[in-house]
Amino acid sequence: MKEAKYLVSDLFTADPSAHVFNNKLFIYPSHDFESGVAENDNGDHFNMRDYHAYSMDTIDGEITDHGVILDVDHVDWASRQMWDSDVAHKNGKYYLYFSAKDHNDIFKIGVAVSETPEGPFIPQEYPMKGSYSIDPCVFEEGNERYILFGGIWGGQLQRYRDNKAIEVGAEPKDAEASLCPKVAKLSDDMLEFAEAPKDLLILDENGNPLTAGDHDRRFFEASWLHTYKGKYYFSYSTGNTHKLCYATSDSLYGPYCYQGIILTPVVGWTTHHSICEFQGKWYLFHHDCVPSNGKTWLRSMKVVELEYDEAGKIITIEGT
Ligand code: FUB
């Protein structure tokens, strides 16, 4: 499949996280809808309230909507904005990690548990201890699971340093090192961090950390981690420059070296993705706002084949 295709037409869907469970492809997107909240720099117009799960037997086949798997009304600690999520499998159970604002309008990361990948997922009473910001994704390696997260601006990462809230939340100055995505091993029961989240450092071609002023390359949000031919590939959105980029490392915790662009800007402000191997091919799942005529808060998820060159570089895909 060389042409990107939309996956769903009856709902608006964004931030797709794709995994293979039980030989099927499962996709966990955000569920955009028209809530009437005005657009602002905090992203209040992304006012989502529930999640659906989707599955496919083949990439060209039918997509099954398994219905609502979690609703904000079922999460005591959450008030609004059910943003990006991901699902991981361990010890026979499935764990949905999701971003949502608590009753003080602070983003936290919650966990909900299911016996099956189709859900429904039962939320824990409280968010993960010490969690903050948005966009969790979970990476599997052997018997361990690692969570990556973070996002600046509306995602609130600039309000923290060393995992603590700071008095005046601001980004570093342009010439200073940019804020980093976070990575932490998960506890064996999958419900908490097993260690304090660490910075996942992204270096430029000279071995220096990307700077906060380097808006074309620095991390903004939308972490994803996969491996290809023994290397770790960390991919992310540059936010206000609207690119999906990636960096590689020989070690899960990094440091990572910036490599290039996976997807050039799409129609819409946000760009967000996941990368998954399914039935022998690699795919990029992402979203754009073409079907809603450019309404940035009404996005539609898509899939397109992703290719590497002989040196393991991802071949850049042109956005819409
Ligand atoms: O869908 C809401 C937010 O928009 C996500 O959490 C961000 O990554 C961006 O896609």
Which residue out of 12, 49, 72, 84 has the highest number of ligand 1 atoms within 8 Å of its CB and is therefore the one to mutate? Answer: 84
Task: Establish whether residue 15 lines the binding site of ligand 1, counting it when its CB lies within 6 angstroms of any ligand atom.
Answer: yes
Mean pLDDT of 38-61: 96
* pLDDT average, residue stretch 139-151: 98
Is residue 313 assigned to a domain?
Answer: no
- Domain for residue 288, yes or no? yes
What tens digit of pLDDT does each residue of 169-187 get? 999 999 999 999 999 999 9
Q: Is residue 111 part of a domain?
A: yes
**Mean pLDDT on 60-69:** 97
Does 199 contact ligand 1 (Cβ within 6 A)?
no
Does any ligand 1 atom lie closer than 6 A to the CB of residue 242?
no
Sequential DSSP letters for 235-295: EEE-GGG--EEEEEESSTT--EEEEEEEE---SSS---EEEEEETTEEEEEEEESTTTTT-
Q: Is the CB of 222 under 6 A from ligand 1?
A: yes
The rounded Å distance from CA 274 to ligand 1 centre is 13
- The active-site residue out of 135, 199, 221, 288 is 221
- The tens digit of pLDDT for each residue in 199-250 reads 999 999 999 999 999 999 999 999 999 999 999 999 999 999 999 999 999 9
Return the ligand 1 atom nearest residue 237 CA. Answer: 8
Question: Averaged over 114-126, what is the pLDDT?
Answer: 98
| 202: CATH | 2.115.10.20
Per-residue pLDDT, 1: 66
In this model, does residue 197 exceed pLDDT 90? yes
Q: Is the CB of 272 under 6 A from ligand 1?
A: yes
Q: What pLDDT band is residue 3 in, cutting at 50, 70 and 90? A: confident
Q: Which atom of ligand 1 is nearest to the CA of 84?
A: 6
| Catalytic annotation present for 221 | yes
Ligand 1 nearest-atom number relative to CA 14: 1
Cβ-contact 275, 235 below 8 angstroms: yes
> Ligand 1: which residue has its CA nearest to atom 4?
270
Q: How far apart are CA 103 and CA 80, in angstroms?
A: 8
Is the Cβ atom of 83 under 6 angstroms away from ligand 1?
yes
By three-state DSSP, how is residue 157 classified?
helix
Give the pTM: 0.98
Task: Give the Å distance between the CA of 248 and the centre of ligand 1.
Answer: 23
Q: List, for residues 255-287, the tens digit of each pLDDT value.
A: 999 999 999 999 999 999 999 999 999 999 999
Determine if the peptide bond prior to 120 is cis (ω within 30°). yes
**Ligand 1 atom closest to residue 46's alpha carbon, by position in its atom list:** 2
pLDDT at 320: 78
Please give the average per-residue pLDDT across 62-75, as a whole number. 98
Our answer on whether the CB atom of 133 is closer than 6 Å to any ligand 1 atom is no
Residue 311 lies in a domain: no
Specify which residues 12 forms β-bridges with.
32
Q: What is the span of the domain harbouring residue 109?
A: 5-306
318 within some domain: no
Instruction: Find out whether the beta carbon of 85 lies less than 6 Å from any atom of ligand 1.
Output: no
Q: Kindly give the distance from the C-alpha atom of residue 222 to the centroid of ligand 1, in angstroms, as a whole number.
A: 7
In the predicted model, what is the mean pLDDT of residues 73-95?
98
Q: Which residue type sits at 318?
A: E
For residue 196, is it within any domain? Answer: yes
Residues contacting 71, CB < 8 A, separation 6+: 49, 50
Q: What pLDDT, on the 0 to 100 scale, is given for residue 2? A: 74
Q: Is residue 286 part of a domain?
A: yes
Judge whether 188 lies within some domain.
yes
270 CA distance to ligand 1 centroid (A)? 7
Structural domain count, the chain: 1
